[in-house]
Amino acid sequence: MKKKEYRYEELTPKQKAAILLMSLDVDTASKVFKQLSLEEVEQIALEITNLQDLPQNIVDQVLEEFYHLMTAQSFMIEGGLEYAQALLEKSYGYEKAKEIVEKIRVLTSVRGFSILKKADPQQLANFLTKEHPQTIALILSHLPPDLVAEVLSEFNEQLRVDVVYRIAKLGKVSPQLLQEVEHVVDQIAEQTLSQNLATAGGAQLVANILNKSNATIAKSLLETIEERDYGLSLEIKRLMFLFEDIVTLDDRSIQRVLRDVDKRDLALALKVADEKVKEKIFKNMSERAAAVVKEELEFMGPVKLKEVEAAQMRIVDIIKRLEEQEEIVIGGRGREDIFV
């Protein structure tokens, strides 16, 4: 049987993805698969089964292309496409750098709308307000309705009405407008990618830090922030979860949390807890289980505050894990989490 010949120039994107995944160890490849849709997994798995006896030079070329694209993208995140090209030229020369950046530009264009679908509504609105209302209307017509509603709420009333009217009247679109829209989507997608690192900070980062700090330090820092900026302190509190916030959980959620909590940790955590917290927890335990914890509390000798706070943090970690697994709902996370 004649051995199949492969030419790098003729490889499809799916084949390149398959070759890349075949080059990884099983654990890493499985992590990548988890980030893909079922359809994408099936398509790439099919390519993997069809790719046999690959020459090493083909594999090397695919890996080299991936490396170049990732390098270019990291440069782009730092300072945009022009910055990426300038840095790449120093390593690979003008022609090769231009080729790499063009691939990134195409990838960004193809992924543009998918990136916009995940963009922060306020950030997206800020970008769009600089554009013509007809361009805004065409872009928003390709995005999910809930995201569009949030973006529109950020516009002033005049622009909001104008854009909604234009969306309602959208018909055939001129090639010139399509080209303009593609250019705008490219720009916004590029800027969205370049701001990913910046949006990782702010209130969310502080909330994450305070969640990992002991309660005394967290409380002190929150009080200081509240004195300087009350609105910011409220935003941080909304994003974090403290042990005393357990009273905001519904009874079913508390019962689910208690199934995973060590009884010793529970007793320690309640040592200095507010009466409302104790009442809420005991209410969701059987009489026998509650009696055991109360007895342990009664006969518990002096303990270090850091031990109590450590126990509280372990319980908070359980609560956050269960929320991530969507087994419980933490109140106050936003309107989408309200039950009616």
* Listed residue (174, 154, 152, 171) closest to 162, CA to CA: 152
Burial class of residue 288 in the structure, from the number of CB atoms within 10 Å of its CB (0-12 exposed, 13-18 middle, 19+ buried): exposed
Burial class of residue 38 in the structure, from the number of CB atoms within 10 Å of its CB (0-12 exposed, 13-18 middle, 19+ buried): exposed
* Listed residue (238, 141, 227, 233) closest to 181, CA to CA: 141
The count of residues in the chain is 340
Provide the 8-state DSSP code for 235: H
pLDDT score for 190: 55
pLDDT score for 279: 93
- Give the separation between CA 141 and CA 143, rounded to whole angstroms: 6
* Listed residue (228, 236, 237, 286) closest to 259, CA to CA: 286
Task: Report which secondary-structure segment, H or E, holds 255.
Answer: helix 251-260
**pLDDT by 10s per residue, the chain, length 340:** 456 777 877 888 888 888 888 888 877 877 777 777 777 777 777 777 677 778 888 888 888 878 776 766 665 555 565 666 676 676 667 777 777 666 655 555 445 566 667 677 888 888 888 888 888 888 888 778 888 888 898 899 889 888 888 887 776 655 566 566 666 666 665 555 444 433 434 566 567 667 666 666 677 777 877 887 787 777 777 777 778 889 989 999 999 999 999 988 999 999 888 899 999 999 999 999 999 999 998 888 888 888 888 888 889 889 888 887 888 877 644 434 444 3
- Give the separation between CA 274 and CA 265, rounded to whole angstroms: 16
Query: What token pair was written down for 62?
Result: 């695919």
Q: What is the DSSP string of 3-66?
A: PPP--GGG--HHHHHHHHHHTS-HHHHHHHHHTS-HHHHHHHHHHHHH--S--HHHHHHHHHHH
Largest Cα separation within the chain, whole Å, is: 82
pLDDT score for 287: 92
pLDDT score for 260: 94
Burial class of residue 191 in the structure, from the number of CB atoms within 10 Å of its CB (0-12 exposed, 13-18 middle, 19+ buried): middle
pLDDT score for 252: 92
pLDDT score for 174: 59
Burial class of residue 116 in the structure, from the number of CB atoms within 10 Å of its CB (0-12 exposed, 13-18 middle, 19+ buried): buried
Task: Report which secondary-structure segment, H or E, holds 289.
Answer: helix 287-299
Domains of the chain, first to last: 8-111 (1.10.220), 117-199 (1.10.220.30), 201-240 (1.20.5), 241-333 (1.10.220.30)
